[in-house]
Amino acid sequence: MIHKLTLQDHATQPHTVRGAGQDVGRSCILVSIGGKNIMLDCGMHMGYNDDRRFPDFSYITQNGRLTEFLDCVIISHFHLDHCGALPFMSEMVGYDGPIYMTHPTKAICPILLEDFRKITVDKKGETNFFTSQMIKDCMKKVVPLNLHQTVQVDDELEIKAYYAGHVLGAAMVHIKVGSESVVYTGDYNMTPDRHLGAAWIDKCRPDLLISESTYATTIRDSKRCRERDFLKKVHESIERGGKVLIPVFALGRAQELCILLETFWERMNLKAPIYFSTGLTEKANHYYKLFITWTNQKIRKTFVQRNMFEFKHIKAFDRSYADNPGPMVVFATPGMLHAGQSLQIFKKWAGNEKNMVIMPGYCVQGTIGHKILNGQRKLEMEGRSTLDVKLQVEYMSFSAHADAKGIMQLIRMAEPRNMLLVHGEAVKMEFLKGKIEQEFSIDCHMPANGETVAVTTNPSVPVDISLNLLKREMALGGPLPDPKKPRTMHGTLIMKENSLKLVSSEQALKELGLNEHQLRFTCRVQLQDPHSDSDTLHRIYTHLKSVLKGYTIQHLPDGTVMVESIVIKVSSCAEDANTKVLLLSWSYQDEDLGSFLSTLLKKGLPSGLC
């Protein structure tokens, strides 16, 4: 499913969640802002092998291509739950517009897509899936983003990427149309680790912040304690002759844990072999070297003397090694045990209680990883076979997602006007939603898949004011301007080259080469008065002098009474001389006073007036 969100001036703005609503996996959000439609991420769900694997794009259009409905697509990072449906969307459903992602994401994304395609199509024999050529064609539509660079998608829509930590190349995106804006975090981490820095964004005060909430109720313990616990468990398992399987995704936590084990093996002088899925280590090292600026400060500083990603103790893994006797540690992909090499090794090692599997990250529902973490000891595998799980199952969060504390920290950093939570579990999100609303006094939404959320915005429109008009206002006296108190100014608003300027009416006429026209309102009032027309007019003059204090009231020789710009004339009705017809005329500046006078005179003149 897709999330949909719209932002509109002084009105409701919908946002639809196509995937990762109250769920983790298949992230896909459709945002409508200032008349522009943007798709944020286009992921797949690891727990499904049927139509539910990809977002439901029929929500956007029932037939035809997506190009005419979308202004752009933005991918936050290379994990498949954020980019896995991209070739399906662009090549099979049909989209020819720009796809924005950072340089590292552009480099790594096609490799992971091809790996996944091989597992799904070549090994499992599934149909209705994208081809290698489709991945290549899809990547031709990619426009790379640099951090902190404002990219103009079109005349009105601009986007800017910020560092998100999480994995190499992950970015948060600030989307702006006119004075309205949205920040989408993708997945992010607010604490630095051994190879990446912490997420950061400036105080951009968006109308809406869309944040992941994978660990909505978790406040993680100290990283050092977790690392010590991890090393202790691995060491104990190795000492008793067991094998340790660590399912990881090719890039990200894998490098973090490799650095950790490499250092520990060196310090303890351990001899048990450590292996990493073949091919991916080399590719990972290549990309970390290529995009060294995306890593943390320590790695950048020491990179010239020693490349942290060239490991002495970690070797490439061969399938046959899984049957070798004796202890070993194996990093294998993918990270949720839903397919591939990690699942194959798990099946071989599951029956021995000496062995151990350590799940270092989040597992979505439906995956083998999720099942064993929930204590399932008998697993139904393909072909109706059953697998008995006897090995030790450990969960240790080395996940590079923000915890509850990190999410609150980001809100303080960006200061959004509204909040929307995605990529999390409903119960946990509900708890975090309450905390956010209580602490920050802002509305927080948590739509389910396919649900549309409307967010009200109140955009401020910048207007330049002419110096002459300001001087004239100051000359009139009154209090000095206070930024916290609004003050009414009268002038003419001129729009030139998409900017607004407030000037005096005289200056506007001069600039635009126009002649001044006077607009006057007229009103007829009947009243009963037995006197002559001139006497009635004099009686009106006397009555208004007594009622209106502080106004300029004149009885003119031409037979009219003037109150400010308001002119009052009297004539008798042809049918009845006692019925007088009053004609009131005023300029638009005195509209309130004109309305007041017409109401007053309709009540008639008091008796006793001379």
User: Left if phi > 0, otherwise alpha if psi is -120 to 50, otherwise beta: which for 60?
Assistant: alpha
Per residue, the 3-state secondary structure of 138-161, as one string, reads HHCCEEEECECCEEECCCCEEEEE
Quote the DSSP letter at residue 294: G
| Pick from 460, 407, 38: nearest CA to 187 | 407
The CA distance from 533 to 576, in Å, is 13
In angstroms, rounded to a whole number, what is the distance separating the alpha carbons of residues 285 and 289? 6
Q: How many helices (H) and strands (E) does the chain have?
A: 16, 31
Which residues lie closer than 8 Å to 489 by C-beta, 6 or more apart? 465, 469, 473, 502
523 Cβ contact list (under 8 Å, min separation 6): 583, 584, 585, 594, 598
Catalytic hit among 91, 212, 394, 473: 212
Q: Is beta strand 36-40 parallel, antiparallel or unpaired with respect to 492-496?
A: unpaired
- CB–CB of 586/565 below 8 Å? yes
CA dihedral sign, ordered 314, 315, 319, 322: negative
Distance CA 229, CA 397 (A): 11
Q: What DSSP state is assigned to residue 289?
A: H
At position 232, the amino acid (one-letter code) is: K
> Does 239 participate in catalysis according to the annotation?
no
State the catalytic residues: 212
